[in-house]
Chains A and B, each alone.
Chain A
Amino acid sequence: MMDLRREERPISHPAGAPGAPRGGPGRRLVRVWRQTSLLTRFTVIGLFLTVMIGVVLGMAVGQQLEKSALTQAAERTADKVGFEIDPFLRPGDFAGVPSPERSQAIDQHIRESLRDERHIVKIKVWNPAGMVIYSTDRSVIGRQFAIEDELADALRGQIAMEMSSLSKDENRMDRGRYGRLMEIYVPIRVGGDRVAGAYEVYLDVDTLTPMIAATQRFFWIGLALGLSALYLGLFGVVRSASRRLHRQSEELGRLEARRVVDQLTTEFVSIVSHELRTPLTALVGFSELLLTQPANEAEQRQWTENMHAAATRLTKLVEELLDVSRIEEGRVELKRQPVDVKAAVTAVLVNFGILTPAHRFEQRYREPIPPLLADPDKLTQVLTNLISNAIKYSPNGGPITISVTAADGTVRLSVTDQGLGLPPEELPRIFERFHRVQEEARRQIPGTGLGLYITRRLVELQEGRIWAESAGRGRGSAFHVELPAAAVERANG
């Protein structure tokens, strides 16, 4: 096994990897919100908006309802007062405070007439000069007050009303007795259309409240039912749209997945085709030359070596494709057991020593090194691939160092060379399937782009991680593999 280029990004992978998403509760909330469906978003936002609209609308209309109810009460009271009392009054009653007998007669008539009007708490009769000529509150009879706007309106023939200010001197007796009072000013017409004076009738708003509350309750129930119906109707529409979008999204996902598969297939066919045809061309071509052309011994040897190299390359391609197939179908069988790292490294290096006289291997061990927990064959494959890469990408030879250290229940194997090195932008990609670094210095080095991919997957399957580092082009590379130590695994298990 072998291949390709070098590295650097840690392909994190054991649990608790440093690349795990972080963020405070706010960010988490935002992330959760982004993942919610259209329907869920509508449910939350729609409910919130519906409730807000209901509250604002309800308050505005509720105020209007109360105002309307009070106006109706005022108009009804004005009619009642005018109908019951006007006929009893005489023009002479408005010249000043009537005689005690007359006053008593008026008082008796008014009290009897309005006995059933429980919301009327006080009544005054004004003459056009602003004098109170009669009142159920005797303390103000005969007193003169400034003519306020509402009274002036009534004296001109219009009904007027206002919420009473209990701070006014004329109302001082009412403080503490009533919560809210409404004053209604009603023109008094005696013997024709002429306005002889005005009533000022005080209504206790609180006694009207049950009626207003009943109206408002009816309104609130209607509003709630209407908005609920609207919300449910919209919910149905959005749910239907959401399901349709979901189906379309799944369809798009399937199409995208198919496109990716097509693209990978094309890429695969293109690479495999090239990797197959190049050695096949060499095999067919050089063998035909050997069979048909006269050649000297040196030529024959060169052509035969070329054929051997081509056959080796084909064998390797087949092995790699089988490995990828096994990995991707989950058919890799692991027989993990404690492995002596030193023995494993030494055994791999023995094979390379003969093949590559240009390179010098150095082994460095920082003791103590516990046994690794790994499948011995897969560990050999990983080491072989990394060392093979180090040789391939150090075309000018040089030292290749295999160092082993242990820490925190893991054992780290590093293969370091002084070869072509890797540009930083390639480091995150070199473990991807079929990826090859495209640059002049590597052009003559054959490869499929599968070796490091296989290596990474074999490491990950054994609960390890792999990453690469390089100081840049021409400055060598280091590949690091971390696997669990056997002792730690036993302690945990």
Chain B
Amino acid sequence: MADQKTVLVADDESMIRQLVRATLRGRPLRVLEAASGPETLALARRERPDLVLLDVGLPELDGYAVCRALKTDPVTAGIKVVMLTARAQRHDLARGAEAGADAYVTKPFSPERLLSDLDGFLRD
């Protein structure tokens, strides 16, 4: 159990959280869920996940702000952040990079592809 990694899925759509959970169900991962910006930050600080799959359009505090907060807090700066976004335009990617995101996954996504990407990030 010591090697079990933790992934925090942050998306306000329960259907998307369910999809990610179903996608990851074959992996020895602990999956946490959050539905808002503040909830994501609180959970990340408390549980120190290895990776946050972070929706850009989170309510109350959007994904960019959450990412910036995670990356500037020494306690959470080491957590990998993968932005989950419906927007894949250049300025959106630039905003994510500026906020310190490690990677992007664009909606809609293929579960198989997501799995292989996450495996890569969690191995690094």
CB under 8 Å from chain B, chain A span 123-159: none
Kindly provide the distance from the CB of B75 to the nearest chain A CB, expressed in whole angstroms: 25
Known: A273-B87, A440-B36, A443-B35. A281 touches B112 (CB 8 A): no
Known: A440-B36, A444-B35. A306 touches B108 (CB 8 A): no
CB under 8 Å from chain A, chain B span 1-33: 12-16, 18-19, 22-23, 26
CB under 8 Å from chain A, chain B span 79-104: 86-87
A288 touches which one: B26, B36, B86, B110 (CB < 8 A)?
B110
For A302, list chain B residues within 8 Å (CB): 18
Kindly provide the distance from the CB of B107 to the nearest chain A CB, expressed in whole angstroms: 4
Q: Is the CB of A281 within 8 A of B22?
A: no
Kindly provide the distance from the CB of A426 to the nearest chain B CB, expressed in whole angstroms: 15
Q: Is the CB of B35 within 8 A of A310?
A: no
Q: Is the CB of A274 within 8 A of B35?
A: no
Residues of B within 8 A of A (CB): 12-16, 18-19, 22-23, 26, 35-36, 57, 59-60, 86-87, 107-112
Kindly provide the distance from the CB of B118 to the nearest chain A CB, expressed in whole angstroms: 14
For B111, list chain A residues within 8 Å (CB): 285, 288-289, 292-293
Q: Is the CB of B35 within 8 A of A285?
A: no
**CB of A286 closer than 8 Å to a CB of B:** yes
How far apart sit A285 and B59, CA to CA, in the bound complex (Å)? 23
How far apart sit A274 and B16, CA to CA, in the bound complex (Å)? 12
**CB of A299 closer than 8 Å to a CB of B:** yes
Closest A residue to B106 by CB, please name it. A277
Secondary structure class of chain B's binding surface, majority of residues: loop
Of the A-B pairs whose beta carbons lie under 8 Å apart in the complex, a sample of 30, sorted by A's number, is A274-B57, A277-B107, A277-B108, A278-B13, A278-B86, A281-B15, A281-B19, A281-B107, A281-B108, A281-B109, A282-B19, A284-B108, A284-B110, A285-B23, A285-B108, A285-B109, A285-B110, A288-B110, A288-B112, A292-B111, A293-B111, A299-B22, A303-B22, A306-B15, A309-B15, A310-B15, A440-B36, A443-B36, A443-B59, A446-B13
A281 touches which one: B12, B14, B16, B59 (CB < 8 A)?
B16
How far apart sit A299 and B110, CA to CA, in the bound complex (Å)? 18
B26 touches which one: A282, A293, A303, A446 (CB < 8 A)?
A293
For B60, list chain A residues within 8 Å (CB): 438
Kindly provide the distance from the CB of A164 to the nearest chain B CB, expressed in whole angstroms: 95
Kindly provide the distance from the CB of A62 to the nearest chain B CB, expressed in whole angstroms: 75
Kindly provide the distance from the CB of B90 to the nearest chain A CB, expressed in whole angstroms: 16
How far apart sit A303 and B111, CA to CA, in the bound complex (Å)? 13
How far apart sit A279 and B19, CA to CA, in the bound complex (Å)? 11
How far apart sit A186 and B87, CA to CA, in the bound complex (Å)? 106
For B87, list chain A residues within 8 Å (CB): 273
For A97, list chain B residues within 8 Å (CB): none
For A277, list chain B residues within 8 Å (CB): 86, 107-108
**CB of A280 closer than 8 Å to a CB of B:** yes
Kindly provide the distance from the CB of B24 to the nearest chain A CB, expressed in whole angstroms: 11
Kindly provide the distance from the CB of B36 to the nearest chain A CB, expressed in whole angstroms: 7
Extra 8 A-B pairs, beta carbons < 8 Å, given A274-B86, A446-B13 = A277-B86, A284-B109, A284-B110, A288-B112, A289-B22, A303-B22, A443-B35, A444-B35
How far apart sit A18 and B13, CA to CA, in the bound complex (Å)? 42
CB under 8 Å from chain B, chain A span 435-464: 438, 440, 443-444, 446
For A283, list chain B residues within 8 Å (CB): 108
For B110, list chain A residues within 8 Å (CB): 284-285, 288
Closest 6 CB pairs of A and B: A281-B108, A277-B86, A285-B19, A284-B108, A277-B107, A281-B107
How far apart sit A289 and B19, CA to CA, in the bound complex (Å)? 9
For A273, list chain B residues within 8 Å (CB): 86-87
Q: Is the CB of B15 within 8 A of A282?
A: yes
Q: Is the CB of A282 within 8 A of B16?
A: yes
How far apart sit A274 and B87, CA to CA, in the bound complex (Å)? 9
How far apart sit A446 and B57, CA to CA, in the bound complex (Å)? 14
For B13, list chain A residues within 8 Å (CB): 278, 446
Known: A282-B19, A288-B112, A303-B22. A444 touches B107 (CB 8 A): no
Q: Is the CB of B35 within 8 A of A280?
A: no
Closest B residue to A294 by CB, please name it. B26
Kindly provide the distance from the CB of B79 to the nearest chain A CB, expressed in whole angstroms: 23
Kindly provide the distance from the CB of B15 to the nearest chain A CB, expressed in whole angstroms: 5
- Among B13, B23, B26, B36, the most chain A Cβ lie within 10 Å of the Cβ of B13
For B59, list chain A residues within 8 Å (CB): 438, 443
For B19, list chain A residues within 8 Å (CB): 281-282, 285-286, 289, 306
Closest B residue to A284 by CB, please name it. B108
For B22, list chain A residues within 8 Å (CB): 285-286, 289, 299, 303
B23 touches which one: A289, A306, A438, A444 (CB < 8 A)?
A289
Kindly provide the distance from the CB of A359 to the nearest chain B CB, expressed in whole angstroms: 20
How far apart sit A278 and B86, CA to CA, in the bound complex (Å)? 8
Closest A residue to B86 by CB, please name it. A277
Q: Is the CB of A280 within 8 A of B108?
A: yes
